Amino acid sequence: MTFLFDIGKVLLDFHFERSLAALLPPGTDNVETRLATLLEKKDDFESGAISNAEYIPWAIGQLAAEIEEEHFLHAWRNIFTPNEPMWRVVESLAAGGHRLILFSNTNGIHCPWIFENYPIFKHFSGAVLSHEAKGLKPHDGIYEYAIREHGLKPKETRYIDDLGPNIETGKRWGFRSWQYDLNDHAAFERWLAAELMEG
């Protein structure tokens, strides 16, 4: 059985704003506006339309503070916390011989850094990453790319993502899909048990 896993809010929880805000000196004005400007352009960054070399200095400039690039990268990367219940699921699925593939909107600052720093990713045999595929979920192109690149049979593929629009596109492409809620992991476990039983 093949499983497509989103990363954010599924395998790893994350909080962008808190980590980036820590870069700014106390008393900095318009913190929320500065951070919003950074994140508005994140889709272009994650779709591969903007490279690391373009995005990083632009983002530091938007923060309008004396920030070293290494400190910016540290803040951008250190936003994650492991979702341990899902890690246990992944380990169990891998031990059972299931094929696991990542399917995520992400960027060249996070990847490959997260793969090198979180051991859960060793269980995945492949990945569809938006900045490499040049497309974002929930748009159709990246789903088509995933199917083509990994030879997926949607009706035999289980897809887990936290965002409703992404799941709706997945269903339209025929994936057996579950919208994951970090606060209700038990509901996912029940769905998974039924899917594994059905085979």
Q: Considering only CA atoms, which of 85, 56, 93, 36 is closest in space to residue 183? A: 85
* Domain residue extents for the chain: 2-13+81-198, 14-77
DSSP string, 140-175: HHHHHHHHHHHT--GGGEEEEES-HHHHHHHHHTT-
**In this structure, is the dihedral angle defined by the CA atoms of residues 66, 21, 113 and 133, taken in order, positive or negative?**
negative
What does the pLDDT look like over 25-43, one tens digit per residue? 888 888 889 889 888 899 9
In angstroms, the CA 4 to CA 100 distance is 6
What does the pLDDT look like over 147-164, one tens digit per residue? 999 999 999 999 999 999
* The model's pTM: 0.95
Class of domain 2-13+81-198: alpha beta
List of E strands, the chain: 2-5, 12-14, 80-82, 99-104, 126-129, 157-161, 176-179
pLDDT per residue, tens digit, the chain (199 aa), is 999 999 999 999 999 888 999 998 888 888 889 889 888 899 999 999 999 999 999 999 988 778 999 999 999 999 999 999 999 999 999 999 999 999 999 999 999 999 999 999 999 999 999 999 999 999 999 999 999 999 999 999 999 999 999 999 999 999 999 999 999 999 999 999 999 998 6
Which residues does 13 contact at the CB level (< 8 Å), separation at least 6?
80, 81, 82, 83, 182
Q: Which amino acid is at 17?
A: E
CB 14 within 8 A of CB 109: no
CB 153 within 8 A of CB 165: no
C-beta neighbour count of 3 within 10 angstroms: 22
Which residues does 166 contact at the CB level (< 8 Å), separation at least 6?
6, 137, 138
- Supply the pLDDT for residue 26: 86
